[in-house]
Structure 1
């Protein structure tokens, strides 16, 4: 979380410096500068978030559906986003499987499971995220 906050503050600072100029005729950027693919990948990795492909995300959602279709409950994009967040938990707590499972249980709620998932299901979700979205963590 600190890394993501730091990255956001650095980006905001750079944008503020870009906007400050003594020359009123200078063109002001209308949008923040784009990151290169390498910069984006580096920023994501530093924050513990994997850069995933649509194929990886589809495989992850399929793995969730194989566990229980209610986990993704028809919202593949939301499930993939939660999976990337789970990867961040794995990255930040590589030696604490209990914490990883705890977060997976709390993170993957649904209308029929607003309280989250059982430890057994959460363990399977954690494994699916690790296998399909962030195998390098």
Structure 2
């Protein structure tokens, strides 16, 4: 009987000692630690870990169907096509590319999703182009957005 009391007392002391040592000065966590219920002394069987990975979710972007990532709908252009596309964007306004070629290509690929979704809604596509493409000098503007949209359709997704 005496051994049970000693073991219980030692366990309680160890629990208090560990709680006191874990203090980081945060009064909220200190209050929680001192009012926490002691753990059960009888072991319980843990649930087996799932070996099936959770399904990946894709955030929806304007024009996205939700079934694939937006950029996956159109492949990455080859080097020659990419160079022509970047040259055309730079001719429209060098601040569109601003030495961020990968970003300009990625935005073009994303714009293709919108082109596929609304192929005959030119005003909507121009608005989405204005929102998707930016310059280091400020907003793109409708005239430049129309030119960028034409470049995207010509070089990145001519199939749409």
TM bracket (short chain)? 0.5 to 0.7
Return the alpha-carbon distance in structure 1 between the equivalents of residues 121 and 79 of structure 2. Answer: 28
Query: C-alpha root-mean-square deviation of aligned residues, in Å?
Result: 1.7
Determine which of 90, 107, 110 is the counterpart of 1:65.
90
Residue 3 of structure 1 aligns with which residue? 67
Q: Report which of the two structures shows the higher radius of gyration computed on alpha carbons.
A: 2
Residue 42 of structure 2 aligns with which residue? none
Residue 131 of structure 1 aligns with which residue? 154
Partner deviation per Cα, 1:76-124 (whole Å, 9 max, x = no partner): 11111111111111111111111111011111113321xx311111000
Q: How many residues align structurally?
A: 95
Contact 2:129 2:148 in 1 (8 A): yes
Question: Which structure has more helix as a fraction of its residues?
Answer: 1
- Any idea what SS the aligned residue of 2:84 has? helix
Q: Establish whether residue 85 from structure 1 lines up as the match of residue 85 from structure 2.
A: no
- Structure-2 change in CA distance of 1:99 and 1:50 (3 Å): farther
- After TM superposition, the score normalised by the length of structure 2 is 0.55
Residue 131 of structure 2 aligns with which residue? 106
Contact 1:72 1:79 in 2 (8 A): yes
Contact 1:104 1:125 in 2 (8 A): yes
- After TM superposition, the score normalised by the length of structure 1 is 0.63
